[in-house]
Amino acid sequence: MAMVFTHVVRILHPAYLDNRPVRWEEVGARTGNVVRATSTWYEVCGSARPNYVVEGVFDCPPEQGSLPSVLQQPVYERLTSVSEGLLWNGYNDPQTRRLTDSAPSIYVDTDEYRVIEKTDEAEGGSSLDVTPNYWWPSDHSWCAATGIDSFDTLIATSDARLAAEIVAIPGIEAFILHDP
């Protein structure tokens, strides 16, 4: 993405304790691990076990493969004019099926994705259970990506102001990975 866009922002998906978002920084402080722009969740929490928890710090790991609902509104407010996206075809919930039933499919490596239009369905205060894995506006001024197994979302843009706005969203944990 950095070859096309000059700025890449990495948003870390929060863990949760009693349904309250927990920053990776809080987890790292408890486990003795420093959070860096390129840290993995497993490095920060200290274990690669899928359902690992740290008592009193987090009881649910970060959401994988989708921008968490707690982050959707503040991020979508800045990523306007979302027009198209790719959604992994492996999700099997009713909301996702409604979005993808008649959508054409493409393959990226070995994974099948559905091409969907108008991905900002989170209007009116509701949020999507699963967000597209890739999404962008019609003018292609930015692109966002959340890998199927990723605990983070990447946003690439050539707009320095947009990158700075995303990193400055209150309550969000984000880093600029690429900034000329």
Q: Which tens digits make up the pLDDT trace of 58-100?
A: 999 999 999 999 999 999 899 978 888 899 988 877 877 777 8
Q: Which residue has the tokens 């948003």?
A: 11
pLDDT band for position 174 (50/70/90)? very high
* pLDDT for residue 169: 96
Dist. CA 105–CA 89, nearest whole Å: 8
Specify the pTM. Answer: 0.89
Measuring CA to CA, which residue among 36, 32, 37, 48 is closest to residue 10? 37
pLDDT, tens only, 29-55: 999 999 999 999 999 999 998 789 999
* pLDDT for residue 127: 56
Name the pairing type of β-strands 152-157 and 142-145. antiparallel
Name the pairing type of β-strands 82-88 and 142-145. unpaired
Mean pLDDT, rounded, for 131-156: 93
* pLDDT for residue 93: 78
Measuring CA to CA, which residue among 88, 83, 82 is closest to residue 100? 88
